[in-house]
C-alpha cells in the first residue's frame, strides 16, 4: 500500500505541464518586483487615485502600480470614495444579485502536510473518511432537496482515494440526484470543484462531466513562505505545479477558473498583488481572467498550532481593504465571501463588491445527512463563523435589498470563459442575469422558503419587476409569462 501510494505521488507532477507556460526560467511572480511596487507607490497623488477609480469603473483591470497605490491609500475621504466606487462596480457588473452555494466536503484523506490545515497527513487526531456513492447521494438530497441549493463547491483532499476517477464519479452522482420538493424538484445545477492541481488530461475529463468553476488557491504567492508552510517533501511543496494549474485548466477548456490566497500566511499586501499578477498573466496568455477570486482568512483548526503562531493575521480593517482593492483591481471578477467569516463581518463587507456567498454551511465529511448539530472539531478542516441557514441568509439579504440568484443559465448556455468576461465587462451579462435571478428566486421561494422569507422575498420580486418593466419593457412580458409558468410548477426556465 505504502509503495503504491508513493508511486501515485511520484506520477502526479508533470514538469512539462509547468515549463510550457513559462517565459524563460522565472515564473510570473517576482517577489522583489512586488515589494518594489508596494514601496514605490506610497503617498499616491489624489488626482491619480481618482483616475484609477475611473479606470476601474470602466471595468478595466488595473496595473500593479495602480493596485499598489490603492493598497497604500491613506486619505480617509478617498478611502470612503473607494467604497462607493466598489459598490458602483459591483452594481454595474453584477447588479444587486448575490449567488449562493454550499461547500460539500468529499473526504479528508490527504498526502500533504500544509502546516495550517486540519486535514494534513500528520494530524493524527482526525478520523478520516471518504464519502461513498450512496453517501454522496444522501448529502446531495439534503442540499438540493431540503435546503434548496442549486450550486455546490465540492472539496477534495489530495489522495488516491479522491483522485480524478473519484472526482469524475462524484460529480456524475451529484448531477444525477433529483428530489421532489413542495412544488417542483430540487437539483444541483452547477458543481464547482476545489481540488488539488490536476493534469491537463484530467481536467479535460472534468470538463466532459460538466464541472462548473475549477478552484485552486495558491495559498501564498510569496515563494519563501510557500516553501515554509508546505513541506518540500510533499506534492503541494511544488509552488509552480500549483501556480500554473489554471493555465492547464484553460488549456483543457475548463474556462471558469477560481483563484485565491489564504490570508494570514504572509503580508496581505503582497498577496493582493499576487492575485492581481495571476489575473494579468491569465488575461495575457488566454484572454480570460479569473471567474472568481477568493480571499479566505486563516481559521483555527483542530490540533494545528501553526495558526496561532503566524504574525500575519489579518485584522478586520485590513480585510475590508483587501476586498475593496481586489474589487477595483479585477473589476469583472466574481468575489466569494464564505461562512468562515462571522455574520457581523459578512454584513459589513457585503456592499463592497461581494458576488457569491455560502449558507447552511457544514464542512464535516457527511455532515449534511448526519444531522449532527454541534460543530465537531475533529471532523472539520477548520471552524466556520456564520451558522445561518440558507433561508435566514436569503431573508437577511432581501432586507438589505439583495436578490439571491440561483441562476446557472450562463454556464449552460455557453456564457462562460471569455464570452462571459466580455459580457461582464460590457455590463450586458447583467441583463440576462437580472431576469434569471428573478425567475430562480421565485422558484426557490415557492419550493423552500419559510413564510417570513417568502413574504419579504416576494415584495423584493415586485420591486424588481417594476424595474424590469421600466428598463426592459420587451423582456417584461416574457418574464411575466415565465413567472406564471413557474407558479404552475414548471422549473428551470431561463433567458
Ligand atoms: N486539498 C486541496 C488544496 O489544498 O487545494 C483542496 C481542498 S483544501 C481543503 C481547500 C482550501 O482550504 C485550501 O486551498 C486552503 O486555502 C483552505 N484552508 C486550509 N486550511 C485552512 C484554515 N485553517 N483556515 C481557512 N482555510 C483553510
Ligand atoms: Fe491537504 Fe488541501 Fe489541507 Fe493541504 S490544504 S493538507 S492539500 S486538504
Out of 217, 226, 231, 310, give the residue to mutate to test ligand 1, the one with the largest number of ligand atoms within 8 Å of its CB.
217
Question: Phi and psi dihedrals of 191, rounded to 5?
Answer: -110, 110
CA of 119 to the centre of ligand 2 (A): 6
Which residue from 83, 84, 91, 59 is spatially nearest to 403, judged by alpha carbons? Answer: 91
The x, y and z cell numbers of residue 452, run together, are: 417570513
The residue whose CA has the least distance to atom 4 of ligand 2 is: 114
- Nearest atom in ligand 1 to the alpha carbon of residue 117 is 20
**CA pair distance 110, 118, nearest whole angstrom:** 10
**CB-based contacts of 112, cutoff 8 Å, min separation 6:** 120, 121, 157, 158, 230, 234, 235, 236
Residue range 42-93, pLDDT digits in tens: 988 999 999 999 999 999 999 999 999 999 999 999 999 999 999 999 999 8
Q: Is the CB of 121 under 6 A from ligand 2?
A: no
| CA dist list (Å): 305 to 118, 145, 438 | 10, 38, 46
Q: Is residue 236 within 6 Å of ligand 2 at its C-beta?
A: yes
Contact 143, 175 (CB under 8 A): no
pLDDT tens, position by position, 446-458: 999 999 999 999 9
119 CB less than 6 Å from ligand 2?
yes
Q: 162: CA distance to ligand 2 center in Å?
A: 12
In whole angstroms, give the CA distance from residue 256 to residue 407: 16
Task: Indicate which residue's Cα is closest to atom 5 of ligand 2.
Answer: 117
The residue-averaged pLDDT of 167-178 equals: 98
- pLDDT, residue 383, reads 67
- Per-residue pLDDT tens over the stretch 361-396: 998 889 899 865 444 545 555 667 898 999 999 999
Query: Ligand 2 centre from 274 Cα, in Å?
Result: 20
Ligand 2 neighbour 380 (Cβ under 6 A): no
Tell me, what's the pLDDT at 419?
61
The domain ranges of the chain are 2-25+96-410, 31-86
Q: Which residues pair with 317 in a beta bridge?
A: none
Q: Is the CB of 406 under 6 A from ligand 2?
A: no
Residue 110 CB less than 6 A away from ligand 2: yes
pLDDT cut 90: percent of the chain above it: 81
Q: Which atom of ligand 1 is nearest to the CA of 157?
A: 1
**What does the mean pLDDT of the chain come to?**
92
Please give the Cα distance from 193 to 175 (Å, whole number): 13
Tens of pLDDT, residues 11-30: 999 999 999 999 999 999 99
Query: What is the number of the ligand 2 atom nearest to the C-alpha of 157?
Result: 8
pLDDT, residue 380, reads 56
174 lines ligand 2 (CB under 6 A): no
Average pLDDT value for residue range 251-258: 96
With a 6 Å cutoff on the Cβ, whether 219 touches ligand 2 is: no
HSE (side-chain half, CA atoms, 13 Å) at 273? 27
Of the two residues 116 and 364, the one the predictor is more confident about is 116
pLDDT in tens, 209-241: 999 999 999 999 999 999 999 999 999 999 999
Q: What's the gap in Å between 295 CA and the centre of ligand 2?
A: 16
Query: What average pLDDT score do residues 328-347 get?
Result: 94
- Alpha-carbon torsion angle 271, 336, 74, 226, nearest 10: -10
Query: Which grid coordinates are listed for 380?
Result: 472539520
Helices assigned H by DSSP within 107-163: 133-140
Measured from CB, residues less than 6 Å from any atom of ligand 1 are 116-117, 119, 155-158, 194-196, 216-217, 219, 262, 296, 298-299, 301, 307, 340, 381-382
CATH class, domain 2-25+96-410, is: alpha beta
Reported residue count of the chain is: 495
- Helices in 230-342 by DSSP H: which ranges? 239-243, 245-251, 268-286, 306-309, 316-329
d(C-alpha 194, C-alpha 124), whole Å: 23
Query: What's residue 373's pLDDT?
Result: 47
Percent of the chain with pLDDT over 70: 92
Amino acid at each position: 500500500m505504502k509503495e503504491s501510494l508513493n508511486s501515485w505521488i511520484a506520477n502526479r507532477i508533470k514538469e512539462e505541464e509547468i515549463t510550457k507556460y513559462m517565459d524563460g526560467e522565472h515564473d510570473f511572480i517576482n517577489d522583489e518586483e512586488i515589494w518594489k511596487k508596494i514601496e514605490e507607490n506610497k503617498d499616491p497623488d489624489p488626482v491619480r487615485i481618482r483616475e484609477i477609480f475611473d479606470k476601474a469603473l470602466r471595468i478595466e483591470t488595473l496595473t500593479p502600480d495602480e493596485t499598489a497605490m490603492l493598497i497604500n491609500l491613506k486619505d480617509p475621504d478617498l478611502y470612503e470614495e473607494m467604497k462607493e466606487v466598489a459598490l458602483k462596480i459591483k452594481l454595474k457588473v453584477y447588479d444587486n444579485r448575490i449567488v449562493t452555494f454550499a461547500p460539500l466536503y468529499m473526504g479528508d484523506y490527504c498526502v500533504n502536510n500544509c502546516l495550517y490545515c486540519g486535514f494534513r497527513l500528520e494530524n493524527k487526531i482526525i478520523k478520516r473518511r471518504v464519502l461513498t456513492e450512496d453517501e454522496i447521494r444522501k448529502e446531495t438530497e439534503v442540499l438540493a432537496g431540503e435546503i434548496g441549493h442549486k450550486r455546490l463547491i465540492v472539496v477534495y483532499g489530495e489522495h488516491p482515494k479522491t483522485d480524478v476517477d473519484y472526482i469524475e464519479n462524484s460529480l456524475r452522482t451529484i448531477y444525477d440526484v433529483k428530489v421532489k420538493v413542495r412544488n417542483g424538484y430540487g437539483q444541483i445545477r452547477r458543481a464547482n470543484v476545489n481540488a488539488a492541481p490536476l493534469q491537463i488530461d484530467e481536467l479535460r475529463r472534468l470538463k466532459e462531466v460538466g464541472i462548473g468553476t475549477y478552484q485552486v488557491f495558491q495559498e501564498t504567492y510569496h515563494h519563501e513562505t510557500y516553501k515554509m508552510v508546505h513541506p518540500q517533501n510533499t506534492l503541494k511543496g511544488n509552488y509552480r505545479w500549483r501556480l500554473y494549474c489554471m493555465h492547464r485548466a484553460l488549456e483543457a477548456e475548463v474556462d471558469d477558473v477560481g483563484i485565491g490566497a489564504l490570508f494570514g500566511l504572509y503580508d496581505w499586501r503582497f498577496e493582493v498583488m499576487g492575485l492581481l499578477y495571476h489575473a494579468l498573466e491569465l488575461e495575457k496568455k488566454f484572454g480570460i481572467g479569473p471567474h472568481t477570486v477568493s480571499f479566505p482568512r486563516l481559521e483555527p483548526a483542530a490540533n494545528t498550532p501553526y495558526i496561532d503562531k503566524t504574525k500575519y493575521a489579518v485584522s478586520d480593517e485590513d480585510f475590508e481593504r483587501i476586498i475593496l482593492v481586489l474589487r477595483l483591481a479585477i473589476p469583472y471578477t466574481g468575489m466569494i465571501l464564505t461562512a468562515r467569516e462571522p455574520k457581523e463581518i459578512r454584513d459589513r463587507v457585503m456592499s463592497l463588491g461581494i458576488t457569491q456567498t455560502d449558507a447552511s454551511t457544514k464542512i464535516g465529511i457527511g455532515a449534511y445527512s448526519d444531522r449532527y448539530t454541534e460543530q465537531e472539531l475533529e471532523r472539520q478542516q477548520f471552524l466556520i463563523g456564520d451558522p445561518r441557514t440558507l433561508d435566514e441568509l436569503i431573508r437577511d439579504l432581501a432586507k438589505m435589498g439583495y436578490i439571491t440568484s440561483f441562476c446557472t443559465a450562463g454556464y449552460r448556455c455557453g456564457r462562460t470563459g471569455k464570452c462571459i468576461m466580455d459580457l461582464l465587462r460590457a455590463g450586458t451579462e447583467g441583463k440576462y442575469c437580472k431576469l434569471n435571478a428573478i425567475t430562480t428566486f421565485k422558484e426557490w421561494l415557492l419550493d423552500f422558503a419559510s413564510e417570513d422569507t417568502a413574504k419579504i422575498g416576494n415584495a423584493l420580486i415586485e420591486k424588481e419587476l417594476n424595474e424590469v418593466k421600466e428598463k426592459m419593457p420587451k423582456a417584461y412580458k416574457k418574464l411575466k409569462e415565465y413567472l406564471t409558468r413557474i407558479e404552475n410548477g414548471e422549473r428551470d426556465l431561463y433567458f
